[in-house]
Amino acid sequence: MDHPLPIPQFLHDGDFLGVLKAHGYETAPRLAQAAAKFQHEMGKGSIATEGTTVLAVKYKDGVLVAGDRRATAGNLVMYERAEKLINIDERSILAIAGVPAVAFEMARVLEHSFKYFERSQLQEMSTAGKVRSLSKLLKDNLPLTLQGVGMVVPIFATYETEGGKDGGGKVYFYDALGAQFEGVDYSASGSGSLAVRSVLHYLNTWGGKPLGKYNESEIVIAALRVLDTAADSDTATSGYNPKSDIFPIVRVITKEGIREIPDSELSRVYKSEV
């Protein structure tokens, strides 16, 4: 049935992806066709580079987000210095497991979408709105996911300060189709995530005190130990590489914003605690 009155639209809704598409930006479907053809001709499975283990844990002052540095393609190690944590705005980090080519593009779209929304609409996008934006991008990416060449399974970590209120740290995780879930205490993604989740569950339940009560130095130690555990059983996860001094990337999001734990500090913790 037709509505007696048409539903009015916002004259300007601050949707950056819409603006991009109007300017000829291509999303996944066309790429997926090309990818399918390529795979068919090569007669092989996926050869796309993939990032591996990332995790986000809530602690006393906010959220810690960490990722190892390895990127793999099949059984090849492609890169040992991959950065899988991407700062999206002053208090949000996207941690990516999956194909970097797609994930970095998503991060770029998100970063600009949030900035664009805030500047054009003169208000910051709500956390729910941000979480939903990522979900929409994942859904747009469905054709690539189904082709098996562009799957991305991200974690979105943020510190809520909406309307001047201190909402604390928040962790959201997604499946490859775009469904979003809020992680209560922690979340992990990528090939090493099984080990990470198991250890975090153990620590949270029987570790003496819940992860949410850890202070910053305690949570950094826990994160490094848990990544080391994942690297022990998962070849695609690198952990600490003493030969070339490559450390995982560890960042914390607090009320003040995002801060990276420097390599010098990580090195000290590795030597004394891991």
Binding site for other proteins (CB under 8 A): 12, 16, 19-20, 23, 90, 108-109, 112, 115-116, 119-120, 122, 257
DSSP codes joined into one string, 121-166: HSSPPPHHHHHHHHHHHHHHTHHHHHHTSS-B--EEEEEE-GGG--
Minimum distance from CB of 135 to other proteins (Å)? 20
> Are the C-beta atoms of residues 54 and 71 closer than 8 Å to each other?
no
Whether the CB-CB separation of 240 and 246 falls below 8 Å is answered with yes
Least spacing, CB of residue 112 vs other proteins, in Å: 5
Alpha carbon distance 18, 116 (integer Å): 11
Q: 148 or 257, CB closer to other proteins? A: 257
34, 47 contact by CB (below 8 A): no
Residue tagged active-site, from 27, 49, 52, 229: 52
Comparing CB distances to other proteins, the nearer of 115 and 197 is: 115
CB nearer other proteins, residue 1 or residue 22: 22
Q: Which two tokens stand for residue 268?
A: 């000290």
52 is catalytic: yes
Half-sphere exposure of 217 (CA within 13 A, CB side): 6
Q: Which is nearer to other proteins, 13 or 175 (CB)?
A: 13
Closest approach of other proteins to the CB of residue 184, in Å: 30
Minimum distance between the CB of residue 27 and other proteins, rounded to whole angstroms?
14
Residues labelled catalytic: 52
